[in-house]
Structure 1
């Protein structure tokens, strides 16, 4: 029998962490989705579950800046003592103009920010100082980046899109063209992005607190049966849906 840390159940983690978010300035909004900051205090180390999205992150902590590519699966990070992180969430496709190379080269990898940005990272990162830092390498607008962002947004907003060929047809691309766009600009394939956002539908149903018709939900999301849905969810989130629901 697995005994879970009581600090991860029923939202208890919110007693130990503080989260804030901020929107980017207009000149950066085509590239940046949002800024976030989290601070924590744990007398005993805490194993934090991090679920993936198709976004590149730039994080600042302990005087260091790191670019984190899209993660293909869940991760865990250990939080201990007092600490904080300031982060930049780039829009899907939005980091490619800064990087100047396929975003897939960063998938499941982290690199020092100095590999992309020439300036010294801010000593006290906040929205103002980080935006000044980003502008040291502000690129020209890239229509392909905007196209990638639009396709991902369409996947996120349209539950009925659950196959790659459907997304390609809606975007006016061939399947191969869609795959190339995602490798270059998003950093992970369209099939993964579709699965990630359809599984987000599961978390929304769980958050509602009502009963879930698992067989019906699996069919709605394009799964052959409930077992396939649960297996995909567990692989992506690191635990079955009922365990995930217990966190919140």
Structure 2
């Protein structure tokens, strides 16, 4: 599956949007940088709906820096006018540098004081600014601005988030196995794959993610299910449920309703027309 749109419920509604992988030396602290840019007509509002990753995001916008905690449900943001953001999807290993109890930030976004980060990223992303973001995306100038903004954010991360130790790297491995193995449905399976106890898995998730490990598993499976429902309109939803380890169609339907607030079939219809 193409990770570029994973977690984005209606990709066709997005403004200019890019996910940029970090350099290898930072991959243990940030999963990717994400940059939306928009320039909407007066009075127009674009609602962006997300099924968030079970992770924290550090986000730079023109008016400041924020830290978003792990989400337990679908989230959305209404875009209007003109703007941009440069976000960093944090790896679990980096989280304790920003917050000691990530669970306290569930479904919450708080200001984060990082004036040097704000100044450096803002200067890079706004350089040689032109009124039309679509036009800027078509030339090399837009790519250079995004690359410079990512480089500025990366330098800040290198200076402020130390290389993780063994325990933090184990938290990254937990995230990796949960995401990669679609047959992993229980916490004890993850513990066995990592050669650690269930209690250790629970501690790692609490300290580095702020969600129970079972919630992490369910979120990755639901992201995968939503993407397959959207991208494979001819595949019966019951087949998708079976492929991803749901007991039956009803269990997948319940997960959709609980987290997203709508059914898989209604999502397929609306996403197909987005």
- Bin the TM-score by the shorter chain: 0.7 to 0.9
CA contact (8 A) 1:96 1:102 kept: no
| Residues matched between the structures, number | 235
Please give the secondary structure, in 2, of the residue aligned with 1:149. helix
The Cα shift of 1:90 comes to 1.1
For the residues of structure 2 that align with 1:48 and 1:205, how far apart are their CA atoms?
19
- Would you tell me which structure has more helix in proportion to its own residues? 2
**Partner of residue 192, structure 1:** 215
> What SS does structure 1 have at the residue aligned with 2:60?
strand
Q: Quote the residue 1:30 is aligned against.
A: 28
Structure-1 separation of matches of 2:51 and 2:67: 17
Matched, 1:247 2:247: no
Alpha-carbon offset, residue 170 of structure 1:
1.8
Displacement of 1:184: 0.3
Work out whether residues 118 and 137 of structure 1, in 8 Å CA contact, stay in contact via their aligned partners in 2: no
Aligned residue number for residue 60 of structure 1: 60
Larger mean CA deviation between 129-138 and 73-82 belongs to: 129-138
Partner of 1:6: none
1:224-243 equivalences under 5 Å are 224-243=247-266
Q: Which runs of 5+ in 2 are unaligned?
A: 1-8, 126-148
**1:103 equivalenced with 2:127 (yes/no):** no
Most deviating of 120-129 and 213-222: 213-222
Conserved 8 A contact 1:71-1:108:
yes
Tell whether the 8 Å contact from 2:20 to 2:34 is kept in structure 1 after alignment. yes
- Give the structure 1 partner of residue 72 of structure 2: 72
Q: TM-score, normalised by structure 1?
A: 0.84
Per-residue deviation, residues 67-107 of structure 1 (Å, max 9, x unmatched): 1111111112111111211111112x132242262332322
Q: Which residue does 2:81 correspond to in 1?
A: 81
Secondary structure of the 1:181 match is helix
Q: CA deviation at 1:23?
A: 2.2
* C-alpha displacement of 1:57: 0.8
CA distance in 2, matches of 1:199, 1:23: 23
Moved more, 63-72 or 36-45: 36-45
Q: Against the structure 1 CA distance between its residues 45 and 216, is the aligned structure 2 distance closer, same or farther, given a 3 Å change threshold? A: closer
C-alpha displacement at 1:160, in angstroms?
A: 1.1
- Superposition RMSD in Å: 2.4
Q: Shift in Å at residue 120 of structure 1?
A: 5.5
Q: Secondary structure at the match of 2:103?
A: helix
Aligned residue in 2 for 1:18: 16
User: Of 182, 192, 196, which aligns to 2:205?
Assistant: 182
CA distance in 2, matches of 1:109, 1:164: 26
Secondary structure in 2 matching 1:156:
helix
Q: Distance in 1 between matches of 2:185 and 2:235?
A: 20
Residues 1:11 and 1:184: Cα distance change in structure 2 (over 3 Å): closer
1:151 aligns with 2:149: no
